[in-house]
Amino acid sequence: MPRDSDGPIVASARRSYEYAVHVCHDEQGAVDRLCSEIGGRRVALITDDSVALLHARRLADRLTDAGLTVAMTSFPAGENSKSLATAARLLDWLAGSALARRDVVLAVGGGVVIDTVGWVASAYMRGVPYINVPTTLLAHVDAALGGKVAVDHASAKNLIGSFYQPSAVVSNVGYLRTLDRRHLRAGLAEAIKKGVIASPELFELIEQRHADLLSADPVATARLVHGASVIKCRLIAKDPYEEDLRRPLNFGHTVGHAVETVAGYGHVLHGEAVAYGMACASRIARSRGLLAPALLRRITGLLREVGLPVVISDLPVRVDPVETLNALGQIRKIRDGHIRFVLPVELGETVVADDVTDEEIHRALIAEADAPGGPDD
């Protein structure tokens, strides 16, 4: 035994993790990929009540027909279900199931399902494998990727969560044909975000094909989902656990999360809140001389052309700007006194500002500056 027992002991727990993202055109392709990823393990399929009727029951039957053992449960659809109460019920269900530690949880649904089920999978038996099967456009291009899993708290969105990577993502763009226009628009918001922060080509694709994308054209949506997935995977690979909080992927989310909190979870879709948040951040960038007027109009013009909110009166419910500022104060408290705004400079280029004042934010929240022909010439 060494004599010196006072010095620190260094423990190491590094882990490298990779998983495949499969973009499929139809359910048969998705079933084939799922069977390959699952192998012979048992499956606990978790979804919401709406997706159960549309897709999940049929998917469970097809997996069963392929020889897999599948148990399934669902919970009420909507942001209100993204809660500790729902998570506790799912943990109870898993505890009563035959699922073993190497079996697979299948999260089939939109962002609420994927975030909630991913967090449950991270907690059950200290972590069981899970696979994401997104059914909304927002989940295809964003929520299903990156392993950020969480449930909401009354004081802040996604307050209770972790980083827990899926074993795979199997995206079937055919599911998007059952979405209404509002949810397709909300998904496009996250794709537009990725275009602004990292890919002029993706931004131009949405400009040119937004009518086809809002009609869930399978060729256009497959191209969009593939391109957006490549961008997100590339960005999160640089910092999968958000050790650097100055992340371009947070573009639009600072104001967006505050709006969701003030409006009451579920009344404003996540993509709608992010779109408005992007418009606000772009106005702040313009007021600081970082963003050219023409590019401000181009960003807000595309958001408006798609049918997304760019001014506070566009939001589907009344949101008070003062209450939104107060909610940002809560976010500031959670983040060690700092609010970081991702501000666009050019398509594919952003900066992060830690010094945005409440006055700047308030001006951006209440501005009526718009698309082409607006007052920022």
What residues act catalytically? 126, 148, 190, 232, 242, 246, 250, 253, 257, 270
Burial of 78 (0-12, 13-18, 19+ CB in 10 A): middle
CA quadruple 265, 271, 277, 278: dihedral, nearest 10: 170
Give the sign of the dihedral formed by CA 318, CA 323, CA 329, CA 334.
negative
Please count the CA atoms within 13 angstroms of the CA of 135 that sit on its side-chain side: 25
Structure tokens at 158: 């996604």
Token reading at 328: 């940002």
Phi/psi at 20 (nearest 5 deg)?
A: -90, 145
- Cβ–Cβ < 8 Å for 136, 187: yes
* DSSP secondary structure letter of residue 125: G
Question: What is the DSSP secondary-structure string of 148-187?
Answer: EEEEEETTEEEEEEEE---SEEEEEGGGGGGS-HHHHHHH
Rounded CA gap, 193 and 167, in Å? Answer: 26
Q: Is 100 exposed, middle or buried (0-12, 13-18, 19+ CB in 10 A)?
A: exposed
3-class SS of residue 320: coil
With 0-12 / 13-18 / 19 or more C-beta atoms within 10 angstroms meaning exposed / middle / buried, residue 373 is exposed
